[in-house]
């Protein structure tokens, strides 16, 4: 998008035109949409409106209705559920908040709704124009986070550096803008700061001064957020599962480290737990232990539930072998409806293909390597009793 288009979209004429587009126009067909709009608007305005409508259709259901979008800005925008949680913590600091890489305002919007003074900085002028319109409650300027045009001392600072396009999901300190070391320095100098980064960040890249939280929304790992300054504690690790705001921190007790043989129940922790390095902490809450120090599956003699783990009743444990597994499934009349794996070389889809998709009662295969031996748990998912689904942990006798 160019500056002229952005200026049109934030103008009174652009806003009125966007609001007036009939809902009957199908935004999923951009070409037809642009043709229809050209009947009522000059070509440049028609294509600006068509672009917004198709981006809004793509963002539908994400809770960002009415926000002006660019393709890139939408891809990089923090999910509103994640942003709302971050904004609440920032507001709790009682300081003005400055978002030094505000993008289209995904983080800044909920902040501005909660604090009296909020400001955003954005290097890309087009994005800055749209952000100013998206967050009328904040002062938004165009500029470089390394040289902010306003004072950030005494503020709570937000940094969400962009990653090189097409870059790997895993953490690469060379791939950020502003550069990683600039972002960390800015964060360490602020009274309060949060630096958002890839969930795959390794421990060695997390500054000692930072408290790190690993945030998951539904089944999807969203980010690692590093908190600095007042109200945070260097070295603390936190797993966060949204929505529902379930948290587990490294302050919790850990289960004993010595691995145990498989019991009647196996637990598969959510990614936020494994990323945060809190599997043993979760084990203590579940009354469970590891079966192998290198594998995040936990086991226990009895069923227990926690929102951060899937609970499985073990039907059989067998050494891995395709022919053996296929035969056992046939004998028992079981159909592998789901395959999960940890420290296991075969892709789930590939294993299902090799097994020939037998028919029968649905079971889950948990494939792993325990003390060097490839092992398969044939298991059945156990859901918590309805009354207990909101409780953090519930123990039930028997399986």
Q: Which of 36, 45, 51, 160 binds ligand SAM (CB under 6 A)?
A: 160
122 binds ligand SAM (CB under 6 A): yes
Q: State the Cα–Cα distance between residues 170 and 294, nearest whole angstrom.
A: 20
Q: Which of 29, 144, 188, 338 binds ligand SAM (CB under 6 A)?
A: 144
Residue 144 or residue 247: which is nearer to ligand SAM going by CB? 144
Helix (H, G, I), strand (E, B) or coil at 97: strand
Q: State the Cα–Cα distance between residues 129 and 7, nearest whole angstrom.
A: 7
Among the residue ranges 12-20, 144-152, 292-300, 326-334, the one whose residues contact ligand SAM (CB under 6 A): 144-152
**Element at 68 (helix H, strand E):** none
Q: Which of 78, 216, 303, 364 binds ligand SAM (CB under 6 A)?
A: 78
Q: How far is the CB of 330 from ligand SAM (least distance, A)?
A: 51
DSSP string, 10-62: HSHHHHHHHHHS-TTS-TT-HHHHHHHHHTTS-HHHHHHHHHHHHHHHHTTTS
Residue 150 or residue 362: which is nearer to ligand SAM going by CB? 150
CB crowding 79-89: b at 16 or more within 10 Å, else e = bbbbbbbbbeb
3-state helix, strand, coil split of the chain in percent (to 5) is: 30, 25, 40
121 binds ligand SAM (CB under 6 A): yes
Q: How far is the CB of 147 from ligand SAM (least distance, A)?
A: 9
Residue 148 or residue 277: which is nearer to ligand SAM going by CB? 148
Q: Which of 30, 89, 113, 162 binds ligand SAM (CB under 6 A)?
A: 162
Nearest CA to 218 out of 81, 341, 116, 102 is that of 81
What number of chain residues touch ligand SAM (CB under 6 A)?
A: 22
Q: Which of 52, 101, 299, 364 binds ligand SAM (CB under 6 A)?
A: 101
CB crowding 315-344: b at 16 or more within 10 Å, else e = bebeebeeeebeebbeeeebebeebbbbeb
Residue 177 or residue 271: which is nearer to ligand SAM going by CB? 177
Residue 45 or residue 107: which is nearer to ligand SAM going by CB? 107
10 binds ligand SAM (CB under 6 A): no
Q: Which of 14, 96, 110, 178 binds ligand SAM (CB under 6 A)?
A: 178
Residue 91 or residue 363: which is nearer to ligand SAM going by CB? 91
Residue 110 or residue 384: which is nearer to ligand SAM going by CB? 110
103 binds ligand SAM (CB under 6 A): yes
Among the residue ranges 89-97, 102-110, 288-296, 389-397, the one whose residues contact ligand SAM (CB under 6 A): 102-110
Residue 162 or residue 369: which is nearer to ligand SAM going by CB? 162
DSSP string, 213-277: EEEEETTEEEEEEEEEETT--TT-EEEEEETTTEEEETTS----SS-----SEEEEE-HHHHHTT
Among the residue ranges 99-107, 198-206, 281-289, 314-322, the one whose residues contact ligand SAM (CB under 6 A): 99-107
Strand order from edge to edge, sheet including 334-341: 289-290, 298-300, 265-269, 309-319, 373-382, 361-370, 334-341
223 binds ligand SAM (CB under 6 A): no
Q: State the Cα–Cα distance between residues 265 and 278, nearest whole angstrom.
A: 19
Among the residue ranges 21-29, 122-130, 261-269, 301-309, the one whose residues contact ligand SAM (CB under 6 A): 122-130
Residue 148 or residue 263: which is nearer to ligand SAM going by CB? 148
124 binds ligand SAM (CB under 6 A): yes
Q: Which of 36, 45, 51, 107 binds ligand SAM (CB under 6 A)?
A: 107
Site for ligand SAM, rule CB under 6 A: 76-78, 101-107, 121-124, 127, 144-146, 160, 162, 177-178
């Amino acid at each position: 998008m160019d500056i002229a288009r952005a200026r049109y979209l934030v103008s009174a004429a652009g806003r009125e035109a966007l609001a007036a587009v009939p809902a009957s126009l199908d935004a999923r067909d951009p070409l037809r949409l642009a043709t229809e709009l050209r009947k009522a608007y000059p070509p440049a305005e028609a294509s600006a409106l068509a672009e917004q409508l198709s981006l809004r259709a793509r963002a539908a259901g994400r809770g960002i209705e009415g926000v002006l979008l660019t393709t890139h800005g939408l891809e990089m925008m923090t999910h509103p559920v994640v942003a709302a949680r971050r904004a609440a913590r920032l507001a709790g600091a009682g300081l003005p908040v400055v978002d030094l890489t505000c993008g289209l305002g995904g983080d800044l919007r909920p902040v501005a709704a909660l604090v009296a003074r909020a400001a955003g900085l954005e290097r890309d002028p087009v994005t800055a124009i749209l952000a100013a319109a998206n967050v009328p409650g904040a002062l938004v300027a165009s500029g470089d986070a390394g040289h902010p045009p306003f004072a950030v001392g005494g503020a709570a600072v937000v940094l969400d550096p962009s990653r090189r396009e097409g870059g790997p999901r895993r953490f690469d300190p060379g791939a950020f803008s502003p550069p990683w070391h600039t972002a960390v320095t800015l964060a360490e100098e602020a009274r309060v700061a949060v630096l958002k980064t890839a969930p795959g960040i390794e421990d060695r890249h997390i500054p000692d001064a930072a408290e790190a939280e690993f945030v998951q929304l539904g089944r999807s790992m969203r980010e690692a957020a590093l908190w600095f300054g007042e109200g945070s504690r260097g070295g603390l690790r936190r797993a966060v599962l949204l929505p529902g705001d379930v948290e587990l921190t490294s302050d919790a007790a850990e289960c004993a480290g010595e691995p145990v043989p498989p019991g009647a129940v196996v637990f598969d922790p959510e990614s936020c737990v494994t990323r945060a390095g809190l599997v043993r902490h979760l084990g203590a809450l579940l009354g469970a232990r590891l079966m192998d120090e290198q594998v995040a599956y936990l086991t226990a003699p009895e069923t227990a539930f926690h929102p951060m783990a899937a609970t499985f009743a073990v039907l059989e444990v067998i050494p891995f072998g395709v022919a053996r597994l296929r035969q056992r499934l046939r004998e028992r009349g079981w159909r592998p409806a789901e395959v999960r794996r940890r420290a296991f070389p075969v892709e789930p889809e590939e294993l299902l293909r090799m097994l020939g998709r037998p028919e029968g009662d649905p079971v889950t295969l948990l494939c792993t390597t325990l003390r060097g031996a490839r092992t398969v748990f044939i298991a059945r998912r156990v859901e918590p009793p309805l009354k207990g689904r909101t409780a953090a942990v519930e123990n039930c006798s028997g399986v």
